Amino acid sequence: MTIDREEVKKVANLARLNITEAEEEAFTTQLNSILGYFDQLSELDTTDVQPTTRAIETSNITRADELTPFPDKEELLKAAPEQQGEFFRVPKIISSDEG
């Protein structure tokens, strides 16, 4: 399988990355080379093999759903680029590429 420049553009949009023309070109070449390298896995028949999702199998870990307020709300808010009162502030939300 190969990936072309159009697809690289599409993927960059999905990943919310603004990429330059030069990056578009470089990523197309590099991703194809990595995907080509990945193709060696087709040598292995995995039809009846179960996937390993994590290194050590653990069953669902649950805990009581109890609220523990974070002790230092001020510090949390201070870490944000912009805040207003108890809120994180962001620029206008305008959908420019999806509709």
Q: Which residues bind other proteins (CB under 8 A)?
A: 1, 3, 7-8, 11-12, 14-19, 23, 27, 30-31, 33-34, 37-38, 40-41, 44, 46, 49-56, 58, 61, 63, 70, 72, 75-76, 78-82, 88, 90-97
Residue 86 CA, distance from chain mean position = 28
Provide, rounded to whole angstroms, the least separation between the CB of residue 87 and other proteins.
Answer: 11
Q: Is the dihedral of CA 42, 45, 49, 52 positive or negative?
A: negative
Provide, rounded to whole angstroms, the least separation between the CB of residue 65 and other proteins.
Answer: 14
- Using alpha carbons only, what angle is made at residue 32 by residues 29 and 37, rounded to the nearest 5 degrees? 130
Structure tokens at 92: 């206008």
Provide, rounded to whole angstroms, the least separation between the CB of residue 72 and other proteins.
Answer: 5
